[in-house]
Chain A
């Protein structure tokens, strides 16, 4: 039954790891702004669309045709 010592230690270590993760995340300012990231994550795809590789004209035409 002394395995309970091991189990207790393990469970507390795991809990402490998560707790430390929370503290680090808070410290890095992750919870300071809880709105912008929710919008930012939706941009990803469109950024690829307008990578600088494409020439100006093509993307201009493209955006034009989208609007028409």
Chain B
């Protein structure tokens, strides 16, 4: 067996698989999870889906803050007599095995009463007895079996809001009323003047009236509210003719049945509202497990370890940190506030904040900024600011984050709505005046008939169905958009700005190449063995990249902080590190990240770390540059300038060393030149730019983990299709325009009947659903064809 994969997590076991019960495991963690499961009769987990697990991570001390009652109280949903309920977000949930094991948590601990998984949301709701098991023990148990919950500052702040189900209620009511009214209005369409029908038509008509009441006053209320808001801000949106149509339908029908003039249009009325709501419902599809609203709170921990004046450790809520507090930051923890390093060997990964890919080393007395992640041993820092005043978090006080982007954008439907409303009102008044001259008794009849038949049901349905379907098609292609409006905005993009690190480069290991004198095999072996002992990220990278060598014990190994490492056997020695450290004084390329090497104090050469660009970046940019303005906005240093110029179409502007705020201002200045800007980024450092841009797209290697607030999340492996998606959005807009024309033709037919005073309820009852259904069919077929093309 050459390639052993882990029975638990499916990872490559490497050279030394751990064998247990005839199964291979990649690490002791995975083996332990297997033991826990098999000792508790839960090995069915592996039958359900093979290698579904995740190896548990080191969590010692990480959840100590859950001992604090105040914090626990904020997190749990329900607490009564020792029974507590908590909803935990678990990013690892991905298959049926996950559901099964999490719903059998009670087998692992008697204190857990029940647990229920919500798969689309990736959450598990656990009911447990807090006298038998504490929240901390529960979380630790889940972490131990590889299902570590993600608890962030966001959970602490969250006001628990119930899900909004009013849309379902409204749709239910409209559908219920529509069905019943149809039923009751049918007899009169077929038989006029029949004896029994004459007897009972009053009952039928008033029953229809009763059914339409909740439809008009509850189910359709959003249209009235929206029309009123539009009128008040002197903005003619599509909801005005809709609201007018509903109102006129209702009033005229009521008057008709009161004076026994006819049966009214209750079937058209309820049908109209039902179809409109159906469109809205279709459009509403969101990806419940993705969040498009994240800010720094989703990344920040709830609590950190504070060192009190008596030198004891205690857990403190992040908001309680005051300037002057001493904090302990362990390996892998995030620095929550701007602070000064007091002691410890700080190696801070700022990729979150600045996009800079290499960790920065700090000495005591240096300033460290909030948002950095410590990736070496524990350090002690002294806070100099509170959380909300820190450099990174201040970005969120910028006004863009308070703005509601959707409010300012005029959708295609709304822009049509304006002209439509004016046209309909003109036709209604003109024909009313003409009839006033010909036959005054029919004036009101014609006036209301025009408003009824012109009610733009089909127009209002075109966009929701087209865009709703596009949203789903994009979703299947790994491109998740926040709402349908984003598609319309995407179609208008003329400028695309890209972040570099993590966006057009992969987050995985970069390219490393060697420049200098060739190394002998002894030197290579010694190099690899020396690197083995070092924990510096660059050493690890280099180690993984070098060919396998036999393990040779080192005679001597020494690490020089911030300079390099030295390893020697009896005969030879190597030094690896900065240029100065290995004795090379003339450095030529200062900008790029490189590691220099000398053997027996003789300079050999250097390893240059290069960014690994995503597949097809060059081509994607080339095709995009045809009709989009492009630019790169990077927080990183200019080391990659030469490479980027080679890769990208000539003349693409490159900006380096951009701070988060610079990026935001850059986007803003483009927008001031009336550009429609798309920003593509990945980290928190792009958050401002993503919020400011017309369309902010976050690139994510794994869509289940966190991306900053944005309008859309793009799966990194589909990066090269980005331009196709933009083209598809433009085509979707064309489809909407075509269906507008189609529905206008229906309106013309209807208007002919209305203007000539011949509008019978039955004509409205046929025309309205017919136009709506043909629009729905047309848009669905057209978008599916578009989706098929996308797949090729």
Cβ of A39 and Cβ of B99 under 8 Å apart? Answer: yes
Q: Evaluate whether A56 and B39 lie within 8 angstroms (CB atoms) in the complex, with A22-B172, A39-B119 already known.
A: yes
Per-residue B-contact encoding for A29-68, CB less than 8 Å = 1, 0 else: 1011111100110110011011010101001100110111
Contact of B163 among A32, A35, A63 (CB under 8 A): A32
Cβ of B200 and Cβ of A4 under 8 Å apart? Answer: yes
**Which of chain A's residues have a CB closer than 8 A to the CB of B172?**
19, 22-23, 26
Per-residue A-contact encoding for B185-218, CB less than 8 Å = 1, 0 else: 0000000000010011001000100000000000
Cβ of A36 and Cβ of B117 under 8 Å apart? Answer: yes
In the assembled complex, how far is the CB of residue B39 from the closest CB belonging to chain A, in whole angstroms?
A: 6
Cβ of B42 and Cβ of A32 under 8 Å apart? Answer: no
In the assembled complex, how far is the CB of residue A67 from the closest CB belonging to chain B, in whole angstroms?
A: 8
- Taken together as a complex, chains A and B put the C-alpha atoms of A62 and B625 apart, in Å, by 62
- Taken together as a complex, chains A and B put the C-alpha atoms of A26 and B172 apart, in Å, by 10
Q: Evaluate whether A26 and B118 lie within 8 angstroms (CB atoms) in the complex, with A1-B199, A52-B41, A63-B43 already known.
A: no
Cβ of A26 and Cβ of B165 under 8 Å apart? Answer: yes
In the assembled complex, how far is the CB of residue A50 from the closest CB belonging to chain B, in whole angstroms?
A: 4
Q: Please report the total number of B residues contacting A with Cβ < 8 Å.
A: 37
Chain B minimum-CB-distance residue to A46: B44
Chain A minimum-CB-distance residue to B211: A12
In the assembled complex, how far is the CB of residue A4 from the closest CB belonging to chain B, in whole angstroms?
A: 6
In the assembled complex, how far is the CB of residue A40 from the closest CB belonging to chain B, in whole angstroms?
A: 6
In the assembled complex, how far is the CB of residue B765 from the closest CB belonging to chain A, in whole angstroms?
A: 20
Cβ of A19 and Cβ of B176 under 8 Å apart? Answer: yes
- Taken together as a complex, chains A and B put the C-alpha atoms of A24 and B119 apart, in Å, by 23
Contact of B38 among A15, A34, A60 (CB under 8 A): A60
- Taken together as a complex, chains A and B put the C-alpha atoms of A19 and B38 apart, in Å, by 47
Interface: B74 (CB within 8 A): no
- Taken together as a complex, chains A and B put the C-alpha atoms of A4 and B39 apart, in Å, by 68
Cβ of A40 and Cβ of B118 under 8 Å apart? Answer: no
Cβ of B41 and Cβ of A64 under 8 Å apart? Answer: no
Cβ of B41 and Cβ of A56 under 8 Å apart? Answer: yes
Interface: B100 (CB within 8 A): yes
Cβ of A50 and Cβ of B44 under 8 Å apart? Answer: yes
Chain A minimum-CB-distance residue to B42: A50
Cβ of A49 and Cβ of B103 under 8 Å apart? Answer: no
Cβ of A5 and Cβ of B203 under 8 Å apart? Answer: yes
- Taken together as a complex, chains A and B put the C-alpha atoms of A39 and B120 apart, in Å, by 12
- Taken together as a complex, chains A and B put the C-alpha atoms of A15 and B181 apart, in Å, by 12
Interface: B169 (CB within 8 A): yes
Cβ of B169 and Cβ of A26 under 8 Å apart? Answer: yes
Interface: B21 (CB within 8 A): yes
Q: Which applies to chain B's interface (DSSP): helix, strand, loop or mixed?
A: helix
Q: Evaluate whether A39 and B176 lie within 8 angstroms (CB atoms) in the complex, with A26-B165, A33-B118 already known.
A: no
Interface: B121 (CB within 8 A): yes
Contact of A36 among B22, B44, B118, B176 (CB under 8 A): B118
**Which of chain B's residues have a CB closer than 8 A to the CB of A46?**
44, 47-48, 100
Cβ of B39 and Cβ of A36 under 8 Å apart? Answer: no
Contact of B120 among A1, A33, A66 (CB under 8 A): A33
Cβ of B44 and Cβ of A49 under 8 Å apart? Answer: yes
Interface: B665 (CB within 8 A): no
- Taken together as a complex, chains A and B put the C-alpha atoms of A64 and B335 apart, in Å, by 47
Q: Evaluate whether A27 and B180 lie within 8 angstroms (CB atoms) in the complex, with A33-B120, A35-B120, A46-B44 already known.
A: no
Cβ of B21 and Cβ of A43 under 8 Å apart? Answer: no
Interface residues of B in 640-691 (CB under 8 A from A): none
Interface residues of B in 86-128 (CB under 8 A from A): 96, 99-100, 103-104, 107, 116-121
- Taken together as a complex, chains A and B put the C-alpha atoms of A42 and B180 apart, in Å, by 38
Cβ of B44 and Cβ of A33 under 8 Å apart? Answer: no
Cβ of A15 and Cβ of B180 under 8 Å apart? Answer: yes
- Taken together as a complex, chains A and B put the C-alpha atoms of A63 and B38 apart, in Å, by 8
**Which of chain B's residues have a CB closer than 8 A to the CB of A34?**
120
Interface: A6 (CB within 8 A): no
Interface: B168 (CB within 8 A): yes
Q: Evaluate whether A63 and B44 lie within 8 angstroms (CB atoms) in the complex, with A23-B169, A32-B163 already known.
A: yes
**Which of chain B's residues have a CB closer than 8 A to the CB of A35?**
119-120
**Which of chain B's residues have a CB closer than 8 A to the CB of A32?**
118, 163, 165
Cβ of A15 and Cβ of B176 under 8 Å apart? Answer: yes
- Taken together as a complex, chains A and B put the C-alpha atoms of A5 and B203 apart, in Å, by 9
- Taken together as a complex, chains A and B put the C-alpha atoms of A52 and B47 apart, in Å, by 19
In the assembled complex, how far is the CB of residue A54 from the closest CB belonging to chain B, in whole angstroms?
A: 7
Contact of A42 among B96, B118, B200 (CB under 8 A): B96
- Taken together as a complex, chains A and B put the C-alpha atoms of A59 and B119 apart, in Å, by 28
In the assembled complex, how far is the CB of residue A32 from the closest CB belonging to chain B, in whole angstroms?
A: 6
- Taken together as a complex, chains A and B put the C-alpha atoms of A62 and B163 apart, in Å, by 44
**Which of chain A's residues have a CB closer than 8 A to the CB of B104?**
47
User: What 3 pairs across the A-B complex have the smallest Cβ distances?
Assistant: A50-B41, A63-B43, A36-B119
Can you spell out 10 A-B residue pairs with CB atoms less than 8 angstroms apart? A1-B196, A8-B207, A26-B169, A33-B118, A33-B119, A36-B119, A39-B99, A40-B99, A50-B41, A67-B46
Please list the residues of chain A having a beta carbon within 8 angstroms of any beta carbon in chain B: 1, 4-5, 8, 12, 15, 19, 22-23, 26-27, 29, 31-36, 39-40, 42-43, 46-47, 49-50, 52, 54, 56, 59-60, 63-64, 66-68
Kindly list 19 other residue pairs between chains A and B, CB separation below 8 angstroms, not including A15-B176, A32-B163, A46-B47: A1-B196, A1-B199, A4-B200, A8-B203, A8-B207, A19-B172, A19-B176, A23-B169, A26-B168, A26-B172, A27-B165, A29-B163, A32-B165, A43-B100, A47-B104, A50-B107, A52-B107, A56-B39, A63-B38
